[in-house]
Structure 1
């Protein structure tokens, strides 16, 4: 391998696991786990003899992975597949300089999508609350109907009993009426 084959990366462009963790709000162990899942999904990190090192582009990938994971509530493996697939689609037709800008715009687009999902979840929660209220009203109405039915049944029994008493009194002779 010639020196010409080695990509030139400025020291300020190299990020360590701790820096990625601080910038994304993840634990260092989570950054390592996410890196492993991203590699399984087909994403490649730059490496040297000490291990992985990260670039600003990798920071965008980690941020997207975290957002997808948090907002969609899916497993890390699935979120990594989604992010890597999206990354591969955008980088196939772009130059390296365009990649970072496109990734940033995709991150913004993803953020808007996540906000939309959050609004949908809020609307769903409101609908569920309304359904709960309506179920409560329905239960109260059914109880009132049951009480009304019981009262009506009792009144009908009393009317039937009164009719029986009237019929029995009519059967008595007129002279037995006072007895």
Structure 2
């Protein structure tokens, strides 16, 4: 596995392009926290997303199209993220092996597949007694802002917790020798401690903030 312009390439899989969470966020024009929220909902619905190192998600071209159609469905209907994810996951999981191979190699069949999902959703909405009010551009902008604020609030809270725990560690374990007689706090070790603490707990806090249960439980 190596990277070209922030894109992971797997030489063992015929140079299949892989995308990071930031790549997907840039493609959709949303914050990374929104991509994580979509991914959690898809995984909860049974949609499989690869993880490059057993921890960080690694997205394929098929996943990109799934995110784009989830975003399109939500923009044109009043359904929730979870409902949109269930529709996408159901269609994906019921595809035959042959269909899956086609989806991996050609864009048009994949587009047709998710266009059918969108059409089904639109037909469902049309049968409702009152037409739903679609979110306005301003409402979508506010949702993105709120997502980003939530992400930053969680990051700051985790950083404060980590610093409190670091401060409780015995001084001799937090200090490093500078010269023969002077010691100072090991800033590099402190920052690494904080970063690891945040990384290990961030996704769980995001699930809690949005009321999304752990797909593994």
- TM-score under structure 1 normalisation? 0.53
Task: Decide whether aligned partners of structure 1 residues 117 and 27 sit closer, same or farther in structure 2, where only a CA change above 3 A counts.
Answer: farther
1:110-149 aligned at under 5 Å gives the runs 110=117
- The runs of 5 or more residues in structure 2 that have no matched partner are 1-10, 133-217
| TM-superposition CA deviations, 1:5-28 (whole Å, max 9, x none) | x962626x1111111111122221
Aligned to 1:24: 28
Change (3 A) 1:79 1:96: closer
Per-residue deviation, 1:39? 0.4
Higher alpha-carbon Rg: 1
More helix by share: 1
Counting matched residue pairs gives: 117
Tell me what 2:113 maps to. 106
Gaps of at least 5 residues in structure 1 are: 1-5, 126-179
Could you say what the CA RMSD is over the residues aligned between the two structures, in angstroms?
Answer: 3.1
2:98 is aligned, of 94, 101, 105, to 94
TM-score (norm 2): 0.45
Classify the secondary structure of the residue corresponding to 1:53: coil
Partner of 2:135: none
CA distance in 2, matches of 1:119, 1:82: 17
- Flag the structure with more relative contact order, 1 or 2, with Cα contacts below 8 A and sequence separation at least 6: 2
Report how far residue 65 of structure 1 moved: 1.2
